[in-house]
Amino acid sequence: MRALILFILAFELMVITIFPLIVPPDLTLFDAASSRASQTFMLVGFALLIPVTLFYNTFGFRTFSGKIHSPS
């Protein structure tokens, strides 16, 4: 438990130390955003891939779920 607390504290200190250097103060969200076309492309891609991923994971879970019987 102590190791976890020390890790979290060290990570927080690293973030606090680096944070001012990550984002310049004059950069706004709208300046940093990508173009509308690329955002639409990503939205369509995610809209197509998320159902496929959910189906694949559900299929795999249902296929391989259940008790394992040892051959005797």
Domain boundaries, the chain: 36-63
Residue 54 has pLDDT above 90, yes or no: yes
Residue 6 has pLDDT above 80, yes or no: yes
Residue 72 has pLDDT above 80, yes or no: no
Residue 21, pLDDT score: 74
Q: Do the beta carbons of residue 33 and residue 39 sit within 8 Å?
A: yes
Q: What is the DSSP letter of 1?
A: -
Going from the C-alpha of 43 to that of each of 5, 37, 46, 59, the distances in angstroms are 38, 10, 5, 24
The average confidence (pLDDT) of the chain is: 91
Residue 22 has pLDDT above 80, yes or no: no
